[in-house]
């Protein structure tokens, strides 16, 4: 890059603030209205706080130079001759936000130089040539290049200090704007949180492994706000884990699945779901939108949808993609945000079917991104609705091996 000469600080500042707004918006309603606000605001502040730049001259290093021959022309004698050229690459460790090396500060000294920035190792370097084995020429040229490359560091750091001074206020404003939008559109109705029947807690319970990744925040167990009852992520994960563990358990018990059609297998899952939750009704072959879907969990008080699932036998990649389309195009309404597709596989080559599911699922036109794996045969995705590409749906694809 050309040091401190590729984007004005004004444009960089607007872009940086735009990233803050985008990160807040991508979290979505459920996250924003559930999260511990102060923790989330602190997380955003730590992530987007700009660190002033410092190039550590005492860490200077350089490798053996590359040598080459360069042709020169003596115009007076009209002759061409060769000279030795020594190309040096000088490296320095640096501290601070690497993005700032390309930013032209609002107060700018008119000088720049080509540099390479290696963010992962926090190293910045530049190249220069000399044409003799002369220590003084080496030092003079190196210092000139260093000055051209890094003269504007103090200027950009001055802008950084001012930006950071207003950062927390900017984050708070962006968050409150997004939160207010959700609260206004949801009319301050408290969303439901599924209550679990304590008698079933240990049926399919597995140890929870705590992973330390980034200080990304967990949604609290507080109220959600929604004009429509919605299923919290915690409840959605509980439903999926219950289905997944039930399906795997059935694989070991041939009598539970042998000879059964889709409806018979679906009823096995409905039985477990019906006894698991309080205030929720689990039904099969229920009319929703323009067709009857296999499994729907509804809020008992008003019949609002919480979770929609479809069951299909595996008949190859083409019918698999058709099943996804059918679920999204025929059965999901705009207010549905949690869904699943249960695939029952009779094939002996179950491993190849799983590979096909993983490869083909990402090719579907409504696919947005992968969202992790729940287990060896359960894959999490984010899809969008065909009638509104900006409306995202949590979508789980589970495969079970029922080969008898």
Residue 39 φ/ψ region, left for φ over 0, alpha for ψ in the -120 to 50 degree band, beta for the rest: alpha
Please name every residue paired with 401 in a beta bridge, in sequence order, or none if there are none: 345
pLDDT value for 221: 43
Q: Would you tell me how many other CB atoms lie within 10 Å of the CB of residue 19?
A: 11
pLDDT value for 148: 95
69 within domain boundaries: yes
- Judgement on whether residues 208 and 103 belong to the same structural domain of the protein: no
- Judgement on whether residues 150 and 200 belong to the same structural domain of the protein: no
- Judgement on whether residues 194 and 337 belong to the same structural domain of the protein: yes
129 within domain boundaries: yes
- Judgement on whether residues 317 and 370 belong to the same structural domain of the protein: yes
pLDDT per residue of the chain (404 residues) written in tens, 0 to 9: 999 999 999 999 999 999 999 999 998 888 888 788 888 899 999 999 999 999 999 999 987 888 888 777 777 777 787 888 899 999 999 999 999 999 999 998 999 999 999 988 899 999 999 988 889 999 999 999 999 999 999 999 999 999 999 999 999 999 999 998 888 765 444 444 445 455 544 333 323 323 333 334 344 444 444 444 566 777 788 889 889 998 998 898 888 888 888 888 988 888 878 777 655 666 555 444 444 567 888 766 656 678 899 999 999 999 999 999 999 988 888 888 899 999 999 999 999 999 999 999 999 999 999 988 888 999 999 999 998 888 889 999 999 999 88
- Judgement on whether residues 103 and 218 belong to the same structural domain of the protein: no
219 within domain boundaries: yes
pLDDT value for 14: 93
**Last residue of a domain, which of 111, 138, 158?**
158
d(CA 174, CA 184): 16
- Judgement on whether residues 238 and 302 belong to the same structural domain of the protein: yes
- Judgement on whether residues 250 and 388 belong to the same structural domain of the protein: yes
Range(s) of the domain holding residue 194: 190-401
168 within domain boundaries: no
Rg (CA), the chain: 30
Q: Structural domain tally of the chain?
A: 2
166 within domain boundaries: no
d(CA 45, CA 51): 12
d(CA 163, CA 1): 23
175 within domain boundaries: no
- Judgement on whether residues 195 and 150 belong to the same structural domain of the protein: no
Q: Would you tell me how many other CB atoms lie within 10 Å of the CB of residue 297?
A: 25
212 within domain boundaries: yes
pLDDT value for 36: 81
Distances (CA, A) of 70 to 82, 86, 122, 137, 255: 5, 10, 33, 18, 83
**Last residue of a domain, which of 140, 158, 176?**
158
pLDDT value for 197: 52
d(CA 197, CA 389): 36
388 within domain boundaries: yes
- Judgement on whether residues 123 and 65 belong to the same structural domain of the protein: yes
């Amino acid at each position: 890059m050309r040091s401190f000469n590729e984007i004005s600080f004004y444009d960089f500042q607007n872009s940086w603030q735009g990233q803050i707004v985008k990160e807040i918006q991508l979290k979505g309603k459920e996250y924003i209205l559930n999260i511990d606000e102060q923790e989330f605001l602190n997380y955003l502040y730590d992530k987007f706080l700009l660190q002033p730049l410092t190039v550590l001259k005492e860490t200077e290093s350089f490798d053996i130079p590359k040598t080459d021959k360069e042709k020169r022309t003596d115009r007076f004698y009209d002759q061409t001759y060769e000279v030795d050229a020594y190309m040096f690459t000088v490296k320095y460790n640096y501290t601070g936000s690497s993005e700032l090396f390309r930013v032209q500060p609002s107060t700018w000294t008119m000088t720049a130089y080509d540099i390479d920035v290696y963010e992962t190792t926090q190293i910045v370097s530049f190249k220069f040539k000399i044409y003799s084995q002369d220590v003084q020429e080496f030092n003079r040229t190196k210092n000139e290049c260093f000055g051209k490359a890094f003269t504007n560091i103090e200027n950009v750091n001055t802008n950084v200090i001012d930006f950071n001074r207003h950062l927390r206020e900017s984050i708070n404003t962006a968050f409150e704007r997004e939160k207010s939008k959700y609260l206004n559109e949801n009319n301050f109705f408290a969303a439901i949180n599924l209550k679990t029947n304590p008698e079933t807690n240990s049926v399919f319970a597995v140890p929870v492994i705590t992973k330390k990744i980034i200080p990304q925040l967990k949604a609290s167990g507080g109220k959600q706000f929604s004009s429509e009852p919605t299923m919290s992520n915690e409840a959605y994960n509980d439903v999926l884990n219950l289905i997944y563990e039930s399906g795997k358990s059935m694989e070991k018990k041939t009598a539970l699945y042998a000879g059964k059609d889709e409806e018979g297998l679906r009823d096995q899952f409905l039985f477990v779901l019906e006894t698991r939750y309080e205030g929720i009704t689990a039904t099969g072959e229920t009319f929703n939108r323009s067709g009857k879907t296999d499994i729907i969990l509804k809020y008992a008080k008003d019949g609002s949808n919480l979770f929609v699932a479809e069951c299909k036998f595996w008949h190859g990649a083409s019918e698999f993609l058709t099943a996804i389309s059918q679920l999204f195009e025929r059965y999901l309404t705009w207010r549905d945000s949690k869904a699943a597709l249960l695939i029952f596989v009779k094939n002996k080559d179950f491993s190849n079917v799983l590979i096909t599911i993983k490869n083909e699922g990402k090719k579907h036109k409504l696919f947005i991104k992968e969202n992790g794996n729940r287990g060896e045969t359960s894959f999490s995705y984010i899809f969008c609705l065909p009638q509104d590409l900006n409306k995202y749906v949590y979508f789980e694809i589970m495969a079970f091996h029922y080969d008898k």
